[in-house]
Amino acid sequence: MPSYGLVLLIWIALVAVRSSALRNVPEEQQHQQHQQHETTGTGRRLSSADGNTEDFQKKLDSHLALFQHSKEVQVLGPSSFPKPSNYHKTHPTDDIVINLQPVFGKHRRDQDVVMAFAAEYPLKTFVIFIESLRDTGFTGDIVLAVHELDLRQDDIKEYLSQAPNVVIYAPKQQCYNAENEEVESVKGGMRICQCHHLYGRRQGGSLANVTALPDPRPARTVAVTRYELYWIFTRNYNPQQWILLVDARDTYFQTNPFTDVPRQTDPSVQSGVLYFFGENVDATRLGKSKQNNKWLSNAYGKEAAAALAEKPIVCSGATMGEQISVETYLRAMVAESDETKTVLMGADQGTLGDELLPS
């Protein structure tokens, strides 16, 4: 693994953000929560893969200062981040509902869940992702968004349709090539696409009377669209269930990702834990990475890029937390994408790791 890669396999939670979904959290309480998040749910301090060595702990402690809560900016809650479905409203009284339904499988609200966008991959990619996760003892849901082209391949369709507790979606995507010609393939995420019929307009309060709606958003990369899909998926789980959003193509599980997470047992608590994963600050930071600098400048301008040059890179490819916080985070990601209207491949990294979190 390269030195600048995501420290995912050993699950070093460099950031633990308490999402104030329905309330603000006092600064003193934030500090106490931050201290608590340096330990796992069992009270064990997070350690390196080969043991809690003194050198490892010193390096981790030296990096934590880069990931402190901002005193100037705080998440205010869902009122600041509208539901992605609201974009479809043409009148305040419009009743916009989720229209997208699974092709295979059924959600279980009381289960933890791993979600991924996995379009146009060979069968072995699906097998490695799903089977390595199951081999860890994970029994929760696996939710995948695939392309319609995947389900035209008999071997992939048969495997995904028979995999237990795997929920499969195949949203209708209308993609365009560099010549602006309509094509089927997303071509590894390089093409821009619209995602139709995610939502519908309900009339008379009955789900039996829903008219599917075309996508009103401009064509964008599937890396951006996936956050809207993830938001739809999260609506099927209870507030304190744990959710992992991760890339499917290059992920192999060695342990159950939710084994040591802190569990909330009080159903009255209206906030949740949200973990982000940082890249190696000894190897790269926002100002050192040409790609991240380009994504950030394209979305927010060169002044923003310069102001965040010394901040660490937080990878948008892996995020985990309780449903109540992940749902809020996904609202924020979609809202930022709507605001910046960037279509550059990698724009989602500029939104999360380069602006939304460090600011």
Q: Per-residue pLDDT for 8 more than 50?
A: no
* 9 within domain boundaries: no
Q: Take residue 230 and report the two structure tokens written for it.
A: 């993830």
DSSP string across 251-281 = ---SS-TTTT------TT---EEEEEEEB-T
Decide if 4 is inside a domain. Answer: no
User: In this predicted structure, what is the pLDDT of residue 25?
Assistant: 35
Residue 135 has pLDDT above 60, yes or no: yes
160 assigned to some structural domain? yes
At residue 210, the pLDDT reads 94
Write down the pLDDT at residue 139.
Answer: 98
Q: Is 243 helix (H, G, I), strand (E, B) or coil?
A: strand
User: For position 66, what pLDDT does the model report?
Assistant: 56
Mean pLDDT across 74-82: 57
Residue 135 makes CB contacts below 8 A (sequence gap 6+) with 253
5 or 167, which is more confident:
167
| DSSP collapsed to 3 states, 113-144 | EEEEECCCCCHHHHHHHHHHHHHCCCCCEEEE
201 belongs to a structural domain: yes
Of the pLDDT bands very low, low, confident and very high (cuts 50, 70, 90), residue 44 is very low
What distance in Å separates the CA atoms of residue 9 and residue 113, rounded to the nearest whole number? 18
Residue 46 lies in a domain: yes
Q: Are 132 and 253 in contact (CB under 8 A)?
A: yes
**CATH, residue 305:** 3.90.550
* pLDDT at 219 (0 to 100): 93
Residue 79 pLDDT greater than 70, yes or no: no
Domain count, the chain: 1
Assess if residue 264 is contained within a domain. yes
pLDDT (tens digit per residue) in 230-258: 999 999 999 999 999 999 999 999 999 99
- Report the alpha-carbon distance of residue 220 to residue 92 in Å, rounded: 26
DSSP string, 281-348: TTT--TTT-HHHHHHHHHHH-HHHHHHTTTSPPEEEEEEEEEHHHHHHHHHHHHHHHHHH---STTHH
User: What distances in angstroms separate CA 86 from CA 65, 93, 97, 170, 334, one per listed residue?
Assistant: 37, 11, 9, 22, 11
Q: What's the mean per-residue pLDDT of the chain?
A: 79
- Identify whether the C-beta of residue 223 lies closer than 8 Å to the C-beta of residue 189: yes
Q: Residue 213 domain-assigned? A: yes
| Residue among 1, 261, 222 at smallest CA distance from 113 | 261
Of 59-73, 125-139, 332-346, the range with the lowest mean pLDDT is: 59-73
Nearest to 337 by CA among 300, 286, 310, 304: 300
How many C-beta neighbours within 10 Å does residue 159 have?
Answer: 15
The closest alpha carbon to 70, from 41, 108, 31, 44, belongs to: 31
Residue 148 belongs to what domain range? 15-356
Please give the residue that has the higher pLDDT: either 354 or 144.
Answer: 144
Token pair for 12: 């070093």
More confident residue, 273 or 75: 273
193: pLDDT confidence band, cut at 50, 70 and 90?
Answer: very high
The type of residue at 53 is: T
Residue 292 reports pLDDT greater than 80: no
In a domain, 2, yes or no: no
Q: Model confidence at 174, in pLDDT bands (50, 70, 90)?
A: very high
Which secondary-structure segment (H or E) carries 97?
strand 96-98
Distances (CA, A) of 195 to 17, 136, 198, 214, 347: 30, 34, 7, 8, 17
What's the whole-number mean pLDDT along residues 277-297? 77
Q: Do the beta carbons of residue 206 and residue 280 sit within 8 Å?
A: no
Q: What value does the mean pLDDT take over residues 349-356?
A: 50
Residues 303-342 have pLDDT tens digits of 877 888 888 788 888 999 999 999 999 998 898 888 877 7
Q: What angle do CA 141, 336, 224 make, to 5 degrees?
A: 50
Contact between 105 and 146 under an 8 Å Cβ cutoff? The reply is no
Query: 341: burial class by Cβ within 10 Å (0-12, 13-18, 19+)?
Result: exposed
